[in-house]
Amino acid sequence: MQRYFLLFIFCLFTSLAYSGQDNPRIIILPFDIHSKEDISYLSTKIPDVIKKNLKEHQAVIIDNVIFPKQIKDNLELKKIGITNDADYIIAGTLTRIGEEFSLDLRLIQTFSNDPVKPFFVQGKGIENISGLVETLSTDIIANIFKETKIAVIEILGNKRIEADAIKRSIKSKEGDIFSSEKLSKDLKSVFAMGYFEDVRVEQEEIKSGKKVSFFVVEKPTIKVINIKGNKAYTGEEIKKALTINTGSILNIKQLKSNVSRIEELYKEKNYHNVKVSYKTNALDHNQVDLDFVIEEGEKLKIKKITFIGNKAYKEKELKKLMKSSEKGFFSFLTSSGEYNIENLNRDGAEIANFYQDNGYIDCKVSEPQVDFKDNSIYITIKLDEGMQFKVGKVDIEGDFILTKDDLLKDVKIKKEKIFSRKVVQDDIIKLTDNYSDKGYAYADIMPRVDKNVEKLSVDITYVIEKGKEVYFERILISGNTKTRDKVIRRELPVYEQELYSGQKLKRGVRNLYRLDFFEDIKVDTAKGSSDDKMVLKIDLKEKPTGAFTFGGGYSSVESFFLTGSVSQKNMQGLGQVLQLKAQFGGITNRYTVSFTEPWLFDIPLSGGFDLYNWDTEYDTYDKHSIGGGLRSSYLIFDFTRAYISYSYETANIENVTVDAPDVIKEMIGENVTSTITTSLDYDSRDRIFNPTEGSQHTVTFQYSGLGGDVGFTKYLIESGKYFPLFWDTVGFLHGACGFVYQNPAKKLPSYERFYLGGLNSLRGFKWQELSPVDNNGIKIGGNKFVQFNVEYLIPLIKKAGLVGVVFYDTGNVWDNNVDIDLGNLRRCAGYGFRWYSPIGPIRLECGYILDKKDGESEGGRWDFTMGTAF
């Protein structure tokens, strides 16, 4: 009894002695574990979690304390605490029975006679222990540090914003130790959500701890957004650029951001003095109308472009290289003076390229300096030209597939006096193509440029590493939902397991474009299963291949006529062509059905047939004809096909007037025409409609008279070439001539003779207007003709496929007893538009007769044809 009394006196004394300490000193014993399974690792893991949480509250943890194996009571634990100068001792037990467990913990105050404080929790599942240990730690901390826990958190005043959404931005949770500092941060977090005009926090004591209340006052919502003062953009265009819309919460930060967005939108159109403000009009039910008020100011244009440092070239020459330009007198009609940062950056690169293509290999062009002053834009470009270098020695070294001399034949830089980076790049492309055509797809060709500053010359050596020969391992085709794979593969002159060829691959892509089945073709190559194998990927975007077309024009016979057709040029995805065509005019009705199989027996042999029924009322007779024919062609050389066809026609001539040509009077009744036609056609155009390069040359021989009444021999020659010019423009030269002779004992009807005039010959003249006449002034057609056409094609809107055309046509038609006179050709010129529109190709062209004779058209004459795709 005396021993316990002395211990009590000692505890009382020491509690007084240590009452002034700020940071409690705590000993945490390893927990006793009672479980059938081995979970002894929790003996120290649980105390470690509690230690960590206590340290965060500035408690001092006393480690390395030696305990007897058996501690019988709390008094002994107090004695150990006193010995080690500890304020508190924590001891605990974990008991697990099946999935359920309980945690029992004792908090012993060493220098106090306060009773031992027990803590107890229960749970299920060993994975949930850590969460309950955290709960116990909070309770212990609250007890030691005399802190209050948060019992309840409530949100008040919210109407639209859900309480759970607000609570997610609050770090304090129910059961946490109450912290004014932490709540202050929570208040800022709620306010930062941007949904509230005001946020305040209140707390009150309740039996179970603290009740914390967040009072919020919500911002109004936007009912209507109005755009005022706008002219350069429509209100809808501006609203599309905004990040707020009707129903959004009025957020000042967002409003300022959207003001900046509108200003940037205007600056894209060079309204750099634009000013945008906003105002709100309060409404009932916590709503507002929002007005963006725009003061556009004047549209700024480039007033002056200044170069600093240019010596070799004048400002005028350099400005011609630029897409950006100074404001001109007609800038209100043209785009002169328009400021575009992308164009300006491109201009800087173009100027640098120009200098480097003219020997100034060290030329440096600074980033253009842009100044906005006095409602105008001033641009300054600084140059450091450097010195101009000539071409010195030109050589090739490395891996050769041909002799050095043969390779040097394709090198153009050795023919130049002044160094040109573009010529060097073209040489690299040409040499790379040479190697790729031999299978070296990954040939690496780098120019080594050695400057001689004293001589101002450059020695150029093309260093070649050919790498390995590469084979096509696989050819993968995608995107063709209709066109069958075999139709695509047969147009590719490259095959799987074949040696790579860049030239053949380019040819294959051109072949696919010429099919006119695809809107876009993307070709990609990737390394195969080894370094010498390649995977070719062809991604296609198909377009409609069916078409309904219609057109119109004028002729001396028809006055005005309409034509229409329904066609499908990729039937069943096999590339087969089926067409039904009709023409309706004042005196002519024509119906035609044709079918073509482009690859008979899966070889480049095409076959097809035509059937037709034509009724024509001429001025002096009527003609009703029914016929058909078979045709075939074969690819005999690159781009070259041979054609042969046979046709049979029965024509009934009736209602012949007294002033009809004699040849027609001789043909009254039924006439049979049996004709064989052969032709040779070379066609390397890159596209069928609006080509940019390539040519087409055709020679045709036609013999009629294999039985029947009609007999003639006809020769036709036609040649056309497209060639790219500057600024993506294209030139086109075309010529054609023909001769027809009547076979002995046979007839040559006027409708088998030659006429000129109309959209496909001499524009400006009516359809078939140019023709010899008989003694009665009736047009009978000629037995020979010559025609020449020159066109200049200008891409107006390249992406849309809109092209402008300026043309000059000349030619004439002569009869048997008149020799060809190239000095007596009729002439016309004009302009027009061609558009590969979403509804199909459209041509609209106007021609003017340059050597007009009496009775011929005054002014320009329009012809058109158009179609629609499906």
The whole-number pLDDT of residue 640 equals: 92
Report pLDDT digits (tens) over 338-361. 888 888 989 999 999 999 999 999
Among candidates 349, 528, 323, 476, which has minimal Cα distance to 422?
Answer: 349
The whole-number pLDDT of residue 174 equals: 86
Over residues 303-319, mean pLDDT: 92
pLDDT at 20 over 60: no
Alpha carbon 449 to its chain's center: 37
Report pLDDT digits (tens) over 806-816. 999 999 999 98
Within a 10 A sphere around the Cβ of 464, how many other Cβ atoms?
A: 23
Band of pLDDT at residue 593, cut at 50, 70 and 90: very high
Among candidates 186, 119, 177, which has minimal Cα distance to 148?
Answer: 177
pLDDT at 2 over 80: no
What stretch of H or E contains 337?
A: none
The whole-number pLDDT of residue 565 equals: 81
Summary mean pLDDT of the chain: 86
Can you say whether residue 694 is alpha, beta or left, with left for phi > 0 and alpha for psi between -120 and 50 degrees? left
Strand partners, 541: 520
Within a 10 A sphere around the Cβ of 218, how many other Cβ atoms?
A: 17
In sign, the C-alpha dihedral spanning 162, 166, 168, 174 is: negative
CB 845 within 8 A of CB 866: no
Within a 10 A sphere around the Cβ of 279, how many other Cβ atoms?
A: 12
Over residues 268-273, mean pLDDT: 86
What pTM, to 2 d.p., does this model score?
0.51
Report pLDDT digits (tens) over 223-256. 999 999 999 899 999 999 999 988 888 888 889 9
Report pLDDT digits (tens) over 812-837. 999 988 888 888 899 999 999 988 77
Collapse the DSSP code of 16 into the 3-class scheme (helix H, G, I; strand E, B; otherwise coil) and give the result: helix
- CA distances to 194, 214, 221, 263 from 162, rounded to whole Å, are 14, 13, 15, 35
pLDDT at 796 over 50: yes
In sign, the C-alpha dihedral spanning 321, 326, 328, 331 is: positive
Alpha carbon 283 to its chain's center: 45
The whole-number pLDDT of residue 13 equals: 40
Strands (E) across 77-156 are located at 88-97, 100-109, 117-124, 150-156
* Encoded tokens for 97: 């029975």
Report pLDDT digits (tens) over 160-184. 888 999 999 998 888 888 877 788 8
Report pLDDT digits (tens) over 553-589. 544 345 566 777 888 888 888 889 999 988 777 677 8
Window from 78-87, 233-242, 343-352, 386-395 with minimum mean pLDDT: 78-87
* Encoded tokens for 655: 């209602």
